[in-house]
Structure 1
Amino acid sequence: MLAAAIALVGSLFFALGAALQQFEAVGSTKPGLLALLRKPRWLLGGVSILAGGGLHIVALGLGPLTIVQPMGVASLLFALPLAATLHGRKPSRQELGAAAVVAAGLILLVLMVPESEGPTRLDPNGVLTLLGVSGVAAVLLWAGSRAVSPAGRAALLATSSGVLYGATATLMRVLVDGTWNWWYLLALPVPALLALVMLQRAYAVGHFGVSFASLQIADPLTAVAFGALLLGEPLPTGIAPIAAAALTAAGTVALARTSPLEARNELA
Protein backbone atom coordinates (compact mmCIF):
# COMPACT_ATOMS: atom_id res chain seq x y z
CA MET A 1 0.00 0.00 0.00
CA LEU A 2 2.84 2.40 0.82
CA ALA A 3 4.57 1.65 -2.49
CA ALA A 4 1.31 2.21 -4.39
CA ALA A 5 0.65 5.50 -2.59
CA ILE A 6 4.17 6.81 -3.25
CA ALA A 7 3.99 5.78 -6.90
CA LEU A 8 0.62 7.52 -7.25
CA VAL A 9 1.99 10.75 -5.80
CA GLY A 10 4.96 10.39 -8.14
CA SER A 11 2.56 10.11 -11.07
CA LEU A 12 0.88 13.34 -9.98
CA PHE A 13 4.23 15.16 -9.92
CA PHE A 14 5.12 13.74 -13.33
CA ALA A 15 1.75 14.81 -14.77
CA LEU A 16 2.07 18.32 -13.33
CA GLY A 17 5.56 18.68 -14.78
CA ALA A 18 4.41 17.55 -18.22
CA ALA A 19 1.45 19.94 -18.17
CA LEU A 20 3.64 22.90 -17.17
CA GLN A 21 6.22 22.16 -19.85
CA GLN A 22 3.57 21.75 -22.52
CA PHE A 23 1.96 25.04 -21.52
CA GLU A 24 5.25 26.85 -22.13
CA ALA A 25 6.08 24.99 -25.36
CA VAL A 26 2.67 25.07 -27.04
CA GLY A 27 2.38 27.37 -30.02
CA SER A 28 6.13 27.87 -30.40
CA THR A 29 7.39 27.50 -33.95
CA LYS A 30 10.84 26.56 -32.66
CA PRO A 31 10.58 25.39 -29.03
CA GLY A 32 14.34 25.24 -28.48
CA LEU A 33 15.72 24.14 -25.14
CA LEU A 34 17.72 27.34 -24.65
CA ALA A 35 14.57 29.44 -24.93
CA LEU A 36 12.57 27.12 -22.70
CA LEU A 37 15.30 27.06 -20.06
CA ARG A 38 14.68 30.77 -19.51
CA LYS A 39 11.02 30.16 -18.60
CA PRO A 40 10.44 29.59 -14.86
CA ARG A 41 7.29 27.50 -15.34
CA TRP A 42 9.09 25.18 -17.75
CA LEU A 43 11.93 24.74 -15.26
CA LEU A 44 9.41 24.12 -12.47
CA GLY A 45 7.90 21.43 -14.69
CA GLY A 46 11.32 19.82 -15.02
CA VAL A 47 11.79 19.80 -11.24
CA SER A 48 8.34 18.25 -10.83
CA ILE A 49 9.18 15.51 -13.36
CA LEU A 50 12.44 14.73 -11.55
CA ALA A 51 10.55 14.54 -8.25
CA GLY A 52 8.04 12.16 -9.81
CA GLY A 53 10.82 9.96 -11.15
CA GLY A 54 12.51 9.91 -7.75
CA LEU A 55 9.31 8.87 -6.01
CA HIS A 56 8.80 6.14 -8.61
CA ILE A 57 12.26 4.75 -7.82
CA VAL A 58 11.49 4.84 -4.09
CA ALA A 59 8.22 3.01 -4.71
CA LEU A 60 10.03 0.30 -6.71
CA GLY A 61 12.26 -0.23 -3.68
CA LEU A 62 9.22 -0.78 -1.46
CA GLY A 63 6.91 -2.84 -3.62
CA PRO A 64 6.73 -5.12 -6.68
CA LEU A 65 6.68 -3.83 -10.24
CA THR A 66 3.15 -5.17 -10.72
CA ILE A 67 1.92 -2.69 -8.11
CA VAL A 68 4.13 0.30 -8.90
CA GLN A 69 4.00 0.34 -12.71
CA PRO A 70 0.20 0.69 -13.05
CA MET A 71 0.36 3.67 -10.72
CA GLY A 72 2.83 5.27 -13.13
CA VAL A 73 0.37 4.95 -16.00
CA ALA A 74 -2.11 6.98 -13.92
CA SER A 75 -0.09 10.10 -14.78
CA LEU A 76 -2.01 10.23 -18.08
CA LEU A 77 -5.32 10.60 -16.21
CA PHE A 78 -3.80 13.30 -13.98
CA ALA A 79 -2.11 15.19 -16.80
CA LEU A 80 -5.18 15.87 -18.93
CA PRO A 81 -7.19 17.80 -16.27
CA LEU A 82 -4.05 19.68 -15.18
CA ALA A 83 -3.21 20.74 -18.72
CA ALA A 84 -6.82 21.69 -19.42
CA THR A 85 -6.90 23.86 -16.29
CA LEU A 86 -3.74 25.69 -17.40
CA HIS A 87 -5.43 26.41 -20.74
CA GLY A 88 -8.59 27.63 -19.04
CA ARG A 89 -10.94 24.80 -19.99
CA LYS A 90 -12.39 21.56 -18.66
CA PRO A 91 -11.54 18.21 -20.25
CA SER A 92 -14.53 16.60 -21.93
CA ARG A 93 -15.94 13.24 -20.88
CA GLN A 94 -14.96 11.80 -24.26
CA GLU A 95 -11.37 12.97 -23.79
CA LEU A 96 -11.10 11.47 -20.30
CA GLY A 97 -12.82 8.29 -21.46
CA ALA A 98 -10.33 7.84 -24.30
CA ALA A 99 -7.45 8.46 -21.87
CA ALA A 100 -8.87 5.82 -19.53
CA VAL A 101 -8.95 3.30 -22.39
CA VAL A 102 -5.31 4.07 -23.23
CA ALA A 103 -4.33 3.70 -19.58
CA ALA A 104 -6.21 0.39 -19.22
CA GLY A 105 -4.59 -1.07 -22.32
CA LEU A 106 -1.13 0.08 -21.29
CA ILE A 107 -1.52 -1.29 -17.76
CA LEU A 108 -2.51 -4.68 -19.19
CA LEU A 109 0.51 -4.66 -21.50
CA VAL A 110 2.89 -3.71 -18.69
CA LEU A 111 1.55 -6.40 -16.38
CA MET A 112 1.98 -9.08 -19.07
CA VAL A 113 5.70 -8.49 -19.54
CA PRO A 114 7.60 -11.31 -17.77
CA GLU A 115 10.17 -10.25 -15.19
CA SER A 116 13.80 -10.67 -16.23
CA GLU A 117 16.22 -12.67 -14.12
CA GLY A 118 19.95 -12.24 -13.61
CA PRO A 119 22.26 -9.28 -14.36
CA THR A 120 21.80 -7.08 -17.43
CA ARG A 121 24.71 -7.30 -19.88
CA LEU A 122 25.29 -5.37 -23.09
CA ASP A 123 28.56 -5.25 -25.02
CA PRO A 124 29.79 -2.12 -26.87
CA ASN A 125 28.41 -3.37 -30.20
CA GLY A 126 25.04 -3.75 -28.51
CA VAL A 127 25.19 -0.15 -27.28
CA LEU A 128 25.98 1.07 -30.80
CA THR A 129 23.06 -0.98 -32.13
CA LEU A 130 20.79 0.47 -29.44
CA LEU A 131 21.75 4.05 -30.31
CA GLY A 132 21.67 3.44 -34.06
CA VAL A 133 18.27 1.73 -34.19
CA SER A 134 16.62 4.24 -31.86
CA GLY A 135 18.18 7.15 -33.75
CA VAL A 136 17.01 5.93 -37.16
CA ALA A 137 13.51 5.21 -35.81
CA ALA A 138 13.33 8.67 -34.24
CA VAL A 139 14.40 10.37 -37.49
CA LEU A 140 11.86 8.41 -39.55
CA LEU A 141 9.07 9.33 -37.13
CA TRP A 142 10.15 12.98 -37.21
CA ALA A 143 10.18 12.95 -41.02
CA GLY A 144 6.74 11.36 -41.12
CA SER A 145 5.37 14.00 -38.76
CA ARG A 146 5.97 16.71 -41.36
CA ALA A 147 3.33 15.30 -43.70
CA VAL A 148 0.35 14.59 -41.43
CA SER A 149 -2.38 16.43 -39.54
CA PRO A 150 -1.59 18.32 -36.30
CA ALA A 151 -2.85 15.44 -34.14
CA GLY A 152 -0.78 12.97 -36.16
CA ARG A 153 2.24 15.27 -35.95
CA ALA A 154 1.94 15.47 -32.16
CA ALA A 155 1.63 11.66 -31.95
CA LEU A 156 4.62 10.94 -34.20
CA LEU A 157 6.91 13.48 -32.54
CA ALA A 158 5.99 12.19 -29.08
CA THR A 159 6.48 8.61 -30.26
CA SER A 160 9.92 9.61 -31.54
CA SER A 161 10.66 11.01 -28.08
CA GLY A 162 9.34 7.84 -26.45
CA VAL A 163 11.62 5.65 -28.58
CA LEU A 164 14.63 7.71 -27.52
CA TYR A 165 13.56 7.66 -23.87
CA GLY A 166 13.11 3.89 -24.13
CA ALA A 167 16.67 3.60 -25.41
CA THR A 168 17.83 5.81 -22.54
CA ALA A 169 16.03 3.61 -20.02
CA THR A 170 17.62 0.48 -21.49
CA LEU A 171 21.09 1.99 -21.30
CA MET A 172 20.42 3.17 -17.75
CA ARG A 173 19.50 -0.38 -16.73
CA VAL A 174 22.81 -1.61 -18.10
CA LEU A 175 24.67 1.04 -16.13
CA VAL A 176 22.86 0.21 -12.89
CA ASP A 177 22.55 -3.56 -13.13
CA GLY A 178 25.10 -4.85 -15.60
CA THR A 179 28.60 -4.82 -17.05
CA TRP A 180 29.54 -1.58 -18.76
CA ASN A 181 32.39 0.60 -19.99
CA TRP A 182 33.06 4.17 -18.90
CA TRP A 183 32.05 5.61 -22.29
CA TYR A 184 28.51 4.32 -21.75
CA LEU A 185 28.14 7.31 -19.41
CA LEU A 186 29.09 9.62 -22.28
CA ALA A 187 26.55 7.98 -24.57
CA LEU A 188 23.66 8.23 -22.09
CA PRO A 189 22.88 11.97 -22.48
CA VAL A 190 22.64 11.74 -26.28
CA PRO A 191 19.26 9.95 -26.61
CA ALA A 192 17.96 11.66 -23.46
CA LEU A 193 18.56 15.19 -24.81
CA LEU A 194 17.22 14.33 -28.26
CA ALA A 195 14.12 12.85 -26.61
CA LEU A 196 13.58 16.06 -24.67
CA VAL A 197 13.86 18.15 -27.84
CA MET A 198 11.40 15.94 -29.72
CA LEU A 199 8.94 16.03 -26.83
CA GLN A 200 8.92 19.83 -26.70
CA ARG A 201 8.25 19.92 -30.43
CA ALA A 202 5.34 17.55 -29.87
CA TYR A 203 4.01 19.76 -27.09
CA ALA A 204 4.32 22.82 -29.34
CA VAL A 205 1.75 21.37 -31.75
CA GLY A 206 -0.99 21.76 -29.14
CA HIS A 207 -2.61 18.31 -28.82
CA PHE A 208 -1.36 17.57 -25.30
CA GLY A 209 -3.48 14.47 -24.71
CA VAL A 210 -2.23 12.85 -27.91
CA SER A 211 1.40 13.79 -27.20
CA PHE A 212 1.40 12.55 -23.61
CA ALA A 213 -0.44 9.33 -24.43
CA SER A 214 1.94 8.55 -27.30
CA LEU A 215 4.92 9.15 -25.03
CA GLN A 216 3.44 6.93 -22.31
CA ILE A 217 2.99 4.12 -24.83
CA ALA A 218 6.23 4.37 -26.81
CA ASP A 219 8.63 4.69 -23.89
CA PRO A 220 7.93 1.40 -22.03
CA LEU A 221 7.21 -0.61 -25.18
CA THR A 222 10.52 0.48 -26.72
CA ALA A 223 12.35 -0.50 -23.54
CA VAL A 224 10.64 -3.91 -23.60
CA ALA A 225 11.54 -4.39 -27.28
CA PHE A 226 15.19 -3.50 -26.71
CA GLY A 227 15.23 -5.75 -23.66
CA ALA A 228 14.09 -8.65 -25.82
CA LEU A 229 16.31 -7.92 -28.83
CA LEU A 230 19.54 -6.93 -27.09
CA LEU A 231 19.32 -8.30 -23.54
CA GLY A 232 17.59 -11.61 -24.22
CA GLU A 233 14.64 -10.83 -21.96
CA PRO A 234 11.32 -12.68 -22.43
CA LEU A 235 8.30 -11.22 -24.20
CA PRO A 236 4.62 -11.86 -23.41
CA THR A 237 2.94 -14.42 -25.63
CA GLY A 238 -0.59 -15.35 -26.65
CA ILE A 239 -3.67 -13.39 -27.70
CA ALA A 240 -3.92 -11.23 -24.56
CA PRO A 241 -1.01 -8.88 -25.43
CA ILE A 242 -2.45 -8.36 -28.91
CA ALA A 243 -5.85 -7.49 -27.43
CA ALA A 244 -4.25 -5.08 -24.94
CA ALA A 245 -2.26 -3.43 -27.73
CA ALA A 246 -5.41 -3.07 -29.83
CA LEU A 247 -7.21 -1.49 -26.86
CA THR A 248 -4.35 0.97 -26.38
CA ALA A 249 -4.31 1.85 -30.08
CA ALA A 250 -8.08 2.37 -30.14
CA GLY A 251 -7.87 4.67 -27.13
CA THR A 252 -5.10 6.70 -28.74
CA VAL A 253 -7.11 7.16 -31.95
CA ALA A 254 -10.13 8.23 -29.91
CA LEU A 255 -7.97 10.64 -27.94
CA ALA A 256 -6.66 12.18 -31.16
CA ARG A 257 -10.24 12.82 -32.25
CA THR A 258 -11.41 14.30 -28.94
CA SER A 259 -8.31 16.19 -27.76
CA PRO A 260 -8.63 19.86 -28.79
CA LEU A 261 -5.91 21.87 -30.51
CA GLU A 262 -4.80 24.14 -27.68
CA ALA A 263 -3.50 27.68 -27.98
CA ARG A 264 -1.33 29.50 -25.48
CA ASN A 265 -3.18 31.58 -22.87
CA GLU A 266 -0.99 33.54 -20.48
CA LEU A 267 -1.66 32.93 -16.81
CA ALA A 268 -2.25 35.90 -14.55
Structure 2
Amino acid sequence: MADLIITITLCVAVAIAYATAALIQARYANLPVAALLRIPQFWAALALNGLGAALHVTSLAFGPLSLIQPLGVLTLVIAVPFAAVTARRRVTGLELKGMASTVVGLAGLAMIITTTGTTETLASGELIGLLGVIVAVVAVLAFLGNRPGASTLWEAIAGGAAYAVCSALCQTVVVTVGDGGAEVLLRPITIVAVIGIAVFAVVATLLTQRSYRNGLAAPLAVTNLVNPVTATVIGVALLGEHLATTPVEIVLAIACALLAGFGVAQLARARDVVSAPTTPLPRQDVSAGT
Protein backbone atom coordinates (compact mmCIF):
# COMPACT_ATOMS: atom_id res chain seq x y z
CA MET A 1 0.00 0.00 0.00
CA ALA A 2 2.85 2.36 0.84
CA ASP A 3 4.49 1.75 -2.54
CA LEU A 4 1.19 2.51 -4.29
CA ILE A 5 0.84 5.82 -2.46
CA ILE A 6 4.45 6.74 -3.27
CA THR A 7 3.94 5.81 -6.94
CA ILE A 8 0.79 7.91 -7.30
CA THR A 9 2.39 10.84 -5.46
CA LEU A 10 5.43 10.72 -7.72
CA CYS A 11 3.25 10.51 -10.85
CA VAL A 12 1.27 13.56 -9.73
CA ALA A 13 4.55 15.42 -9.09
CA VAL A 14 5.79 14.40 -12.55
CA ALA A 15 2.59 15.69 -14.13
CA ILE A 16 2.82 19.01 -12.27
CA ALA A 17 6.46 19.46 -13.31
CA TYR A 18 5.77 18.70 -16.98
CA ALA A 19 2.57 20.80 -17.06
CA THR A 20 4.28 23.79 -15.46
CA ALA A 21 7.21 23.49 -17.86
CA ALA A 22 4.80 23.34 -20.82
CA LEU A 23 2.99 26.47 -19.65
CA ILE A 24 6.28 28.36 -19.35
CA GLN A 25 7.39 27.16 -22.77
CA ALA A 26 4.07 28.18 -24.32
CA ARG A 27 4.66 31.80 -23.21
CA TYR A 28 7.84 32.00 -25.29
CA ALA A 29 6.92 29.64 -28.13
CA ASN A 30 7.23 32.34 -30.81
CA LEU A 31 10.79 33.32 -29.91
CA PRO A 32 13.85 32.12 -31.83
CA VAL A 33 16.38 29.88 -30.09
CA ALA A 34 18.93 32.68 -29.64
CA ALA A 35 16.37 34.74 -27.72
CA LEU A 36 15.22 31.77 -25.65
CA LEU A 37 18.72 31.16 -24.33
CA ARG A 38 18.68 34.62 -22.74
CA ILE A 39 15.42 34.03 -20.85
CA PRO A 40 15.79 32.59 -17.31
CA GLN A 41 12.24 31.19 -17.41
CA PHE A 42 13.18 29.00 -20.38
CA TRP A 43 15.99 27.44 -18.37
CA ALA A 44 13.56 26.97 -15.50
CA ALA A 45 11.26 25.07 -17.88
CA LEU A 46 14.17 22.85 -18.92
CA ALA A 47 14.95 22.21 -15.27
CA LEU A 48 11.33 21.25 -14.61
CA ASN A 49 11.40 18.85 -17.55
CA GLY A 50 14.56 17.32 -16.14
CA LEU A 51 12.96 17.05 -12.71
CA GLY A 52 9.91 15.38 -14.23
CA ALA A 53 12.08 12.84 -16.04
CA ALA A 54 14.02 12.08 -12.85
CA LEU A 55 10.83 11.62 -10.83
CA HIS A 56 9.41 9.38 -13.56
CA VAL A 57 12.47 7.11 -13.37
CA THR A 58 12.22 7.11 -9.57
CA SER A 59 8.55 6.10 -9.71
CA LEU A 60 9.49 2.96 -11.65
CA ALA A 61 11.21 1.68 -8.51
CA PHE A 62 7.95 1.77 -6.56
CA GLY A 63 5.24 0.81 -9.06
CA PRO A 64 4.67 -1.11 -12.28
CA LEU A 65 4.86 0.55 -15.68
CA SER A 66 1.27 -0.58 -16.30
CA LEU A 67 0.17 1.85 -13.58
CA ILE A 68 2.64 4.64 -14.28
CA GLN A 69 2.01 4.93 -18.03
CA PRO A 70 -1.75 5.66 -17.73
CA LEU A 71 -1.05 8.22 -15.01
CA GLY A 72 1.07 10.12 -17.53
CA VAL A 73 -2.14 11.66 -18.90
CA LEU A 74 -2.34 13.71 -15.71
CA THR A 75 -0.04 16.21 -17.44
CA LEU A 76 -2.86 17.14 -19.80
CA VAL A 77 -5.44 17.19 -16.99
CA ILE A 78 -3.30 19.68 -15.07
CA ALA A 79 -2.02 21.76 -18.01
CA VAL A 80 -5.39 22.67 -19.54
CA PRO A 81 -6.89 24.20 -16.34
CA PHE A 82 -3.53 25.85 -15.54
CA ALA A 83 -3.53 27.47 -18.98
CA ALA A 84 -7.07 28.75 -18.47
CA VAL A 85 -6.22 30.17 -15.04
CA THR A 86 -3.13 31.97 -16.33
CA ALA A 87 -5.25 33.45 -19.13
CA ARG A 88 -7.84 34.53 -16.52
CA ARG A 89 -10.71 32.65 -18.06
CA ARG A 90 -12.78 29.55 -17.44
CA VAL A 91 -12.17 26.19 -19.04
CA THR A 92 -14.54 25.97 -22.01
CA GLY A 93 -16.93 23.13 -22.75
CA LEU A 94 -14.93 22.18 -25.83
CA GLU A 95 -11.76 21.99 -23.74
CA LEU A 96 -13.48 19.79 -21.16
CA LYS A 97 -14.86 17.48 -23.87
CA GLY A 98 -11.52 17.32 -25.66
CA MET A 99 -9.55 16.79 -22.47
CA ALA A 100 -11.87 14.02 -21.24
CA SER A 101 -11.82 12.21 -24.60
CA THR A 102 -8.06 12.47 -24.94
CA VAL A 103 -7.36 11.37 -21.38
CA VAL A 104 -9.66 8.33 -21.61
CA GLY A 105 -8.23 7.40 -25.00
CA LEU A 106 -4.60 7.76 -23.93
CA ALA A 107 -5.14 5.93 -20.65
CA GLY A 108 -6.91 3.13 -22.49
CA LEU A 109 -4.07 2.79 -24.97
CA ALA A 110 -1.48 2.75 -22.19
CA MET A 111 -3.34 -0.03 -20.36
CA ILE A 112 -4.18 -2.12 -23.42
CA ILE A 113 -1.02 -1.90 -25.53
CA THR A 114 1.55 -3.73 -23.42
CA THR A 115 4.71 -5.51 -24.48
CA THR A 116 6.60 -8.54 -23.21
CA GLY A 117 10.07 -9.94 -23.79
CA THR A 118 13.57 -9.52 -22.45
CA THR A 119 15.17 -6.09 -22.46
CA GLU A 120 17.51 -5.84 -25.44
CA THR A 121 19.75 -3.12 -26.79
CA LEU A 122 20.11 -1.64 -30.24
CA ALA A 123 22.83 -3.26 -32.31
CA SER A 124 25.23 -0.89 -34.06
CA GLY A 125 23.48 -1.19 -37.42
CA GLU A 126 20.05 -0.82 -35.84
CA LEU A 127 21.13 2.27 -33.91
CA ILE A 128 22.57 3.98 -36.98
CA GLY A 129 19.53 3.02 -39.05
CA LEU A 130 17.11 4.28 -36.38
CA LEU A 131 18.97 7.59 -36.13
CA GLY A 132 18.91 8.02 -39.91
CA VAL A 133 15.20 7.25 -40.23
CA ILE A 134 14.14 9.43 -37.31
CA VAL A 135 16.31 12.35 -38.43
CA ALA A 136 14.58 12.21 -41.84
CA VAL A 137 11.09 11.85 -40.33
CA VAL A 138 11.58 14.64 -37.79
CA ALA A 139 13.09 16.94 -40.43
CA VAL A 140 10.11 16.41 -42.76
CA LEU A 141 7.57 16.95 -39.97
CA ALA A 142 9.40 20.06 -38.77
CA PHE A 143 9.41 21.43 -42.32
CA LEU A 144 5.68 20.77 -42.67
CA GLY A 145 5.02 22.58 -39.38
CA ASN A 146 7.21 25.54 -40.30
CA ARG A 147 5.25 26.46 -43.44
CA PRO A 148 3.15 29.64 -43.26
CA GLY A 149 -0.27 28.83 -41.87
CA ALA A 150 0.62 25.17 -41.21
CA SER A 151 -0.78 23.29 -38.22
CA THR A 152 1.45 23.26 -35.17
CA LEU A 153 0.51 19.61 -34.64
CA TRP A 154 3.17 18.61 -37.20
CA GLU A 155 5.84 19.86 -34.78
CA ALA A 156 4.08 18.18 -31.87
CA ILE A 157 4.27 14.86 -33.75
CA ALA A 158 7.96 15.45 -34.48
CA GLY A 159 8.65 16.29 -30.84
CA GLY A 160 6.86 13.19 -29.59
CA ALA A 161 8.84 10.97 -31.99
CA ALA A 162 12.12 12.60 -30.90
CA TYR A 163 11.29 12.00 -27.23
CA ALA A 164 10.57 8.33 -28.01
CA VAL A 165 13.97 7.91 -29.66
CA CYS A 166 15.58 9.43 -26.57
CA SER A 167 13.91 6.74 -24.48
CA ALA A 168 15.13 3.95 -26.79
CA LEU A 169 18.68 5.30 -26.79
CA CYS A 170 18.64 5.73 -23.00
CA GLN A 171 17.54 2.11 -22.61
CA THR A 172 20.40 0.96 -24.85
CA VAL A 173 23.01 2.97 -22.93
CA VAL A 174 21.73 1.94 -19.48
CA VAL A 175 21.50 -1.76 -20.31
CA THR A 176 24.88 -1.73 -22.08
CA VAL A 177 26.59 -0.07 -19.13
CA GLY A 178 24.86 -2.44 -16.74
CA ASP A 179 26.12 -5.47 -18.66
CA GLY A 180 29.61 -4.31 -19.58
CA GLY A 181 30.54 -1.70 -17.00
CA ALA A 182 31.41 1.97 -17.34
CA GLU A 183 34.23 1.27 -19.82
CA VAL A 184 31.64 0.64 -22.58
CA LEU A 185 30.96 4.37 -22.55
CA LEU A 186 34.23 4.76 -24.46
CA ARG A 187 33.03 2.58 -27.34
CA PRO A 188 32.31 4.60 -30.49
CA ILE A 189 28.75 3.27 -30.86
CA THR A 190 27.95 4.13 -27.22
CA ILE A 191 29.33 7.62 -27.74
CA VAL A 192 27.07 7.96 -30.79
CA ALA A 193 24.10 6.86 -28.66
CA VAL A 194 24.92 9.40 -25.92
CA ILE A 195 25.29 12.18 -28.49
CA GLY A 196 21.99 11.08 -30.02
CA ILE A 197 20.27 11.33 -26.63
CA ALA A 198 21.54 14.88 -26.12
CA VAL A 199 20.67 16.02 -29.65
CA PHE A 200 17.20 14.49 -29.74
CA ALA A 201 16.41 15.81 -26.24
CA VAL A 202 17.21 19.35 -27.39
CA VAL A 203 15.37 18.91 -30.70
CA ALA A 204 12.30 17.44 -28.97
CA THR A 205 12.22 20.31 -26.46
CA LEU A 206 12.46 22.99 -29.16
CA LEU A 207 9.90 21.33 -31.43
CA THR A 208 7.34 20.87 -28.69
CA GLN A 209 7.90 24.44 -27.53
CA ARG A 210 7.28 25.75 -31.05
CA SER A 211 4.15 23.60 -31.28
CA TYR A 212 2.65 25.58 -28.37
CA ARG A 213 2.75 28.92 -30.19
CA ASN A 214 -0.96 28.86 -31.11
CA GLY A 215 -2.20 27.08 -28.01
CA LEU A 216 -1.06 24.45 -25.53
CA ALA A 217 -3.69 21.74 -25.15
CA ALA A 218 -3.87 20.10 -28.59
CA PRO A 219 -0.09 19.92 -29.22
CA LEU A 220 0.52 18.62 -25.69
CA ALA A 221 -2.08 15.91 -26.24
CA VAL A 222 -0.51 14.92 -29.57
CA THR A 223 2.97 14.72 -28.05
CA ASN A 224 1.66 12.56 -25.22
CA LEU A 225 0.06 10.26 -27.80
CA VAL A 226 2.92 10.01 -30.30
CA ASN A 227 5.66 9.46 -27.70
CA PRO A 228 4.46 6.11 -26.25
CA VAL A 229 3.16 4.86 -29.61
CA THR A 230 6.53 5.50 -31.28
CA ALA A 231 8.37 3.97 -28.32
CA THR A 232 6.21 0.84 -28.62
CA VAL A 233 6.91 0.58 -32.36
CA ILE A 234 10.66 0.90 -31.75
CA GLY A 235 10.50 -1.66 -28.95
CA VAL A 236 8.67 -4.22 -31.08
CA ALA A 237 10.67 -3.59 -34.26
CA LEU A 238 14.17 -3.34 -32.80
CA LEU A 239 14.33 -4.22 -29.09
CA GLY A 240 12.89 -7.73 -29.09
CA GLU A 241 9.60 -6.80 -27.43
CA HIS A 242 6.31 -8.45 -28.35
CA LEU A 243 2.79 -7.09 -28.20
CA ALA A 244 0.92 -8.87 -25.40
CA THR A 245 -2.40 -8.02 -26.99
CA THR A 246 -5.33 -10.18 -28.07
CA PRO A 247 -7.42 -9.41 -31.18
CA VAL A 248 -10.20 -8.06 -28.96
CA GLU A 249 -7.74 -5.77 -27.20
CA ILE A 250 -6.45 -4.54 -30.56
CA VAL A 251 -9.99 -3.52 -31.50
CA LEU A 252 -10.36 -1.74 -28.16
CA ALA A 253 -7.00 -0.04 -28.68
CA ILE A 254 -8.13 1.25 -32.09
CA ALA A 255 -11.28 2.60 -30.46
CA CYS A 256 -9.16 4.32 -27.80
CA ALA A 257 -6.91 5.80 -30.47
CA LEU A 258 -9.93 7.16 -32.34
CA LEU A 259 -11.28 8.61 -29.09
CA ALA A 260 -7.95 10.27 -28.37
CA GLY A 261 -7.89 11.65 -31.92
CA PHE A 262 -11.39 13.03 -31.45
CA GLY A 263 -10.22 14.66 -28.23
CA VAL A 264 -7.27 16.30 -29.97
CA ALA A 265 -9.62 17.65 -32.65
CA GLN A 266 -11.87 19.12 -29.94
CA LEU A 267 -8.90 20.72 -28.20
CA ALA A 268 -7.79 22.22 -31.52
CA ARG A 269 -11.30 23.60 -32.09
CA ALA A 270 -11.32 24.98 -28.55
CA ARG A 271 -8.02 26.73 -29.22
CA ASP A 272 -9.41 28.36 -32.34
CA VAL A 273 -12.58 29.46 -30.55
CA VAL A 274 -10.68 30.95 -27.61
CA SER A 275 -8.14 32.74 -29.80
CA ALA A 276 -10.65 34.02 -32.37
CA PRO A 277 -11.09 37.77 -32.14
CA THR A 278 -14.57 38.94 -31.31
CA THR A 279 -16.18 41.13 -33.94
CA PRO A 280 -17.39 44.39 -32.42
CA LEU A 281 -21.02 45.27 -32.91
CA PRO A 282 -21.66 48.03 -35.45
CA ARG A 283 -22.15 51.43 -33.90
CA GLN A 284 -25.57 52.95 -34.37
CA ASP A 285 -25.70 56.28 -36.07
CA VAL A 286 -27.70 58.21 -33.51
CA SER A 287 -27.76 61.26 -35.72
CA ALA A 288 -29.68 59.40 -38.44
CA GLY A 289 -32.93 59.73 -36.59
CA THR A 290 -32.50 63.37 -35.82
TM over 0.5: yes
* 51 and 200 in structure 1: CA distance in 2 versus 1, 3 angstrom threshold: same
* 192 and 237 in structure 1: CA distance in 2 versus 1, 3 angstrom threshold: farther
Percent identity (aligned): 27
Tell me whether 1:210 sits opposite 2:218 in the alignment.
yes
Q: CA deviation at 1:62?
A: 0.3
Whole-angstrom distance in 1 between the partners of 2:88 and 2:239: 46
Secondary structure of 1:88's counterpart equals: coil
Q: CA deviation at 1:220?
A: 1.1
Q: CA deviation at 1:115?
A: 3.6
Show the 5 A alignment for 1:156-171.
156-171=154-169
Structure 1 counterpart of 2:27: 23
Structure 2 counterpart of 1:94: 94
Tell me whether 1:195 sits opposite 2:193 in the alignment.
no
Task: Give the residue type in structure 2 aligned to 1:243.
Answer: A
| Farther off after superposition, 186-195 or 104-113 | 186-195
Show the 5 A alignment for 1:242-257.
242-257=254-269
Unpaired runs of 5+ residues, structure 2, are 277-290
Whole-angstrom distance in 1 between the partners of 2:10 and 2:152: 30
* 242 and 162 in structure 1: CA distance in 2 versus 1, 3 angstrom threshold: same
Q: CA deviation at 1:215?
A: 0.9
Higher-Rg member (1/2): 2
| Farther off after superposition, 132-141 or 57-66 | 132-141
Q: Cα deviation per residue 1:103-150 (whole Å; 9 max; x = unaligned)?
A: 111111111222433232211111112111211211222233355855
Task: Give the residue type in structure 2 aligned to 1:75.
Answer: T
8 Å contact kept, 2:117–2:242: no
8 Å contact kept, 1:101–1:251: yes
RMSD: 2.1
8 Å contact kept, 1:76–1:99: yes
Structure 2 counterpart of 1:4: 8
Equivalent pairs, count: 256
Show the 5 A alignment for 1:181-192.
181-183=189-191, 184-192=193-201
Q: CA deviation at 1:262?
A: 5.2
TM-score (norm 1): 0.88
Secondary structure of 2:82's counterpart equals: helix
* 104 and 170 in structure 1: CA distance in 2 versus 1, 3 angstrom threshold: same
Structure 2 counterpart of 1:266: none
Whole-angstrom distance in 1 between the partners of 2:199 and 2:46: 18
Structure 2 counterpart of 1:124: 124
| Farther off after superposition, 189-198 or 164-173 | 189-198
Whole-angstrom distance in 1 between the partners of 2:56 and 2:196: 24
* 182 and 142 in structure 1: CA distance in 2 versus 1, 3 angstrom threshold: closer
